[in-house]
Structure 1
Amino acid sequence: MRKVVLIGCSGHAYVVAEILNRLGRLLAGYCDLEPRPGNYLGIPFLGHEISEEGLEHLRDNDYFVAIGDNYRRQQVTESLAERGVSVPLSIRHPDAVVSSSVDIGAGSMVGPSSMINPFVRIGDGVICNTGCIVEHECVVGDFAHIAPGAVLAGNVRVGEFSFVGANAVVKEGLNIGANCVIGAGSVIIRNLPDGAKVVGNPGRIL
């Protein structure tokens, strides 16, 4: 089995590395702008992902874009696609509960203790973080992030690049626009337009 190169080597990458370890996948090393001091993973630096050295490693191995920032994750993914690198892995923690009818895009992560229920569609480069719940028939757009403990009730649509903060709750049937930021613990009871920044219970737009 091919080894896996991580792109990024900080907080989110540690979670990704743990999932890969639980899946029995070995790490080849990591790509980043420069070597990371205090590299807790103890894996070698393989160069910048678009350097000649980095691209060689990415073509010889599988890879995962382990960057928490939604926009940066998309930029790196598209940059590699333009250079002919194959699509990134999608990974799910063995403790996650994922319905067999769920569709998960390339480069997405489903974290430990998460629950993804029937007929959910998850786009490319999405983070479904630790312990989140994505209920039936939800649609999560590309490069969105559902943070730890967040809950999407049934038939919720989350636009691309949106962030649903830790322990936030989105009422069933709502549409969350693209590029939204929902603060931790917020309760969303009405649709949100693109670019909305929301906090509180009930959620209010800032």
Structure 2
Amino acid sequence: MSEAKEVFLFGYSGHAYVIIESLKDLGYEIVGYFDKHKSDDNPYNLEFFGFEKEVDVKQIVGDRLVFPAVGDNSIRKNLVHFFNSLNLNQFVLKDPSANISKTASIGVSTYVGKAVLINAQSKIGDGVIVNTGCIVEHECELANFVHVAPGTVLCGNVKIGNESFIGANSVIRENKSVVGGALIGAGTVVTKNVMENGIWFGNPVRKK
């Protein structure tokens, strides 16, 4: 497993900064980051190890931990598949302020942010972001590579498909489903099943 909870990040911009502060609060040592280009801004003084497609990531990382620190669902999906292909050590990152039921299950390379509540029997896939202040009620199911933006409320038994994006401060009513790849705009109230791809918004929800 990892040595002294050492972790390499993939991506180093706005979302990565949130990840870094959760890691630090949990006592992880951040060795450095991989990204397409070296960042002009380096507020956390991290070492740049190159672009993952152009360097020997397995040789550099070894048995230490890796984490995808990007908000874009598609890029995060590709990174997790890349980690799997190299058998790199992934983990679940749960901010210490999050309140997570012992009966909830959470996949690898998923981030549970500050002040998040995840209730009983919820199932969260790989590479998911549950961002600041979200409420995920009982028996919700979030498939792989979903991004739930800050302040969102998922009422009981909500199902979210692969690679969907749920905008900030949205509310999804109990027993409703959102198809994979859908984009739910900020502040939307989902009162019916969203079964077509595309952009949805409003109260009640409608397709753009």
Same fold (TM over 0.5): yes
User: 1:134 and 1:87 mapped to 2: Cα distance?
Assistant: 27
1:180 aligns with 2:178: no
Within 5 A, what are the aligned runs for 1:125-204?
125-204=127-206
1:50 aligns with 2:35: no
1:24 aligns with 2:17: no
Summarize the Cα distance change of 1:196–1:87 in structure 2 as closer, same or farther, 3 Å threshold: farther
2:80 aligned to which of 77, 81, 90: 77
Deviation at 1:109, TM superposition (A): 0.5
After superposition, the C-alpha distances for 1:129-180 in whole angstroms (9 at most, x for unaligned) are 0000000000001000111000000000000000110000000000110001
2:107 aligned to which of 105, 116, 122: 105
- Counterpart in 1 of 2:125? 123
Summarize the Cα distance change of 1:50–1:85 in structure 2 as closer, same or farther, 3 Å threshold: farther
User: 2:76 and 2:83 mapped to 1: Cα distance?
Assistant: 11
User: 2:82 and 2:26 mapped to 1: Cα distance?
Assistant: 27
User: 2:75 and 2:132 mapped to 1: Cα distance?
Assistant: 21
**Percent identity between the aligned chains?**
39
Aligned residue pairs, count: 205
Q: Are the aligned partners of 2:63 and 2:89 in contact in 1 as well (CA < 8 Å)?
A: no
User: 1:202 and 1:164 mapped to 2: Cα distance?
Assistant: 15
Q: Are the aligned partners of 1:102 and 1:116 in contact in 2 as well (CA < 8 Å)?
A: yes
Deviation at 1:197, TM superposition (A): 1.3
Q: Are the aligned partners of 1:87 and 1:107 in contact in 2 as well (CA < 8 Å)?
A: no
- The structure 1 segments of at least 4 consecutive aligned residues displaced by more than 4 Å after TM superposition are none
- TM-score, normalising length: structure 1: 0.96
Bigger drift between 64-73 and 52-61 goes to 52-61
One-letter amino acid matched to 1:14: Y
One-letter amino acid matched to 1:66: A
User: 2:44 and 2:93 mapped to 1: Cα distance?
Assistant: 18
Superposition CA RMSD, Å:
1.2
SS in 1 for 2:145: coil
User: 2:123 and 2:5 mapped to 1: Cα distance?
Assistant: 27
- TM-score, normalising length: structure 2: 0.95
- Counterpart in 1 of 2:17? 14
User: 2:114 and 2:9 mapped to 1: Cα distance?
Assistant: 19
Q: Are the aligned partners of 1:65 and 1:88 in contact in 2 as well (CA < 8 Å)?
A: no
